[in-house]
Amino acid sequence: MPDNFHIAFPWALALLPVPLLVYWLLPSLHMRSAALLLPTYHKAVEYTGQKPKKSAFVKRRGFFSWLILMMSWCLLVAAMANPQLVGKPEMKIKTSRSFLIVADISFSMAKTDWRIDGKKARRWDAVKDVMSGFIEKRKGDRMGLIFFGTNAYIQAPFTPDLSTVKQMLDEADVGMAGQMTHIGKAINKGLEMFDNDTIKTKVMLLLTDGIDAGDDILPLDAAAAAKKDSVLIYSLGIGTPGQSGSDLDEKTLQQISDMTGGEYFLAKDEDRLKEIYVELDKLQPMEFEEAENKPITMLYPYPLGAALGILILSTLLSVLISVYKVLRDRKEAYA
């Protein structure tokens, strides 16, 4: 018997001897039999001097009938005991945090200075390619998505449906939020999303390749508000600082992360971006519930089906035997 076999209701096995107890303790069923009185019946009684008695007989089952009934009863009791196969326990992933991705889709993300599988590609296409895999692995997190440029827009509210978040990411493209880079607005929009969220652990991933071009909400002021609301910000710079065409403000991104308790990463190419996502997985690992999930396979339908099958087959067989005997007797009567 396998180690994962389990009987849910073992007390049901105590019902196995019930038919034998009924057979031994209850009186036999007496049935009246039909009688044919002959005209000479009373004369025979007077002649013999015997007193007539009420006739009865005890109907007895054959060995085959008893075997069928006992097999069916044992199978029914086995079904009532509810046998099960219990799988190995699996820890459930706990929905423990809201993870918000705030991605820059300003015009600078359209530069083709990155490579995907050895071919030149836009920064944004490379970021989407790697970020899709990162989202798929964040099972257990409620993820949200904000895109920003001149303005910041909520693309996906917090949801555990990561396939929807991934789809919304795939549908976004450079320039949809304007051509400028307003980091302060983006962080502030993320804080608005967190204000309406009930989960305490709040993580923001800020991706940008530029410098803040706004003057209404400064990035460090927005970071100070994030710190007050206990929002952890990981900032990720895209590109190579000092290279022609790059205006990445590493200093501000570093200050944003330090202020909120996060970390700053620099991604110069797709390979480094993949490494950063691995590091993020380690910094924000999945959390599991204490409760265990044990997959259970119910086995009671098998003995129950077998019992019903035996009873149906035995009934059909009895009917066929009775029909055969009737036909045989008629044949002999006409012979």
Structure confidence by residue, pLDDT tens digits, 171-199: 888 888 888 899 999 999 999 999 888 78
User: Which tokens in the block code for residue 34?
Assistant: 């039909």
DSSP string, 171-226: H--TTTT-SS--HHHHHHHHHHHHHT---SEEEEEEEESS----SSS-HHHHHHHH
pLDDT in tens, 288-300: 555 556 778 888 8
Q: What is the dihedral of CA 66, 72, 76, 81, to 10 degrees?
A: 80
Asked which of 4-13, 28-37, 174-183, 232-241 is least confident by mean pLDDT, the reply is 28-37
pLDDT at position 306 over 80: yes
Between helix 250-260 and helix 219-228 the angle, nearest 10°, is 10
CA neighbours closer than 13 Å in the CB half-sphere of residue 102: 31
Q: Are 222 and 182 in contact (CB under 8 A)?
A: no
pLDDT at position 245 over 60: yes
Distance CA 37, CA 55 (A): 13
User: What is the distance, to the nearest Å, from the Cα of residue 306 to the centroid of all Cα atoms in its chain?
Assistant: 31
Most confident of the following: 61-75, 112-126, 192-206: 192-206
Single-letter code of the amino acid located at 4:
N
Asked which of 9-13, 262-266, 327-331 is least confident by mean pLDDT, the reply is 327-331
User: Any idea where the domains of the chain sit in the sequence?
Assistant: 5-88+295-334, 92-291
Phi, psi dihedrals of residue 100, rounded to the nearest 5°: -110, 125
Distance CA 298, CA 211 (A): 61
254 C-beta neighbours (distance < 10 Å), count: 15
Q: What is the dihedral of CA 317, 322, 327, 332, to 10 degrees?
A: 120
CATH H-level, domain 92-291: superfamily: von Willebrand factor, type A domain (3.40.50.410)
Residue 149, SS3 per DSSP: coil
- Residues 118-140 have a mean pLDDT of 83
User: Which tokens in the block code for residue 275?
Assistant: 């490494």
Burial of 99 (0-12, 13-18, 19+ CB in 10 A): buried
Distance CA 104, CA 124 (A): 9
Asked which of 8-17, 33-42, 116-125, 319-328 is least confident by mean pLDDT, the reply is 33-42
- Residues 217-237 have a mean pLDDT of 92
User: What is the distance, to the nearest Å, from the Cα of residue 206 to the centroid of all Cα atoms in its chain?
Assistant: 32
What pairs with residue 258 in β-bridges?
A: none
User: Which tokens in the block code for residue 100?
Assistant: 């918000």
Note the pLDDT of residue 68. 85
What pairs with residue 14 in β-bridges?
A: none
Cα distances (angstroms) measured from residue 187 to each of 152, 191, 208, 226:
9, 6, 12, 8
Distance CA 105, CA 175 (A): 6
What pairs with residue 298 in β-bridges?
A: 84
Q: Token pair 């690992």 is at which residue?
A: 285
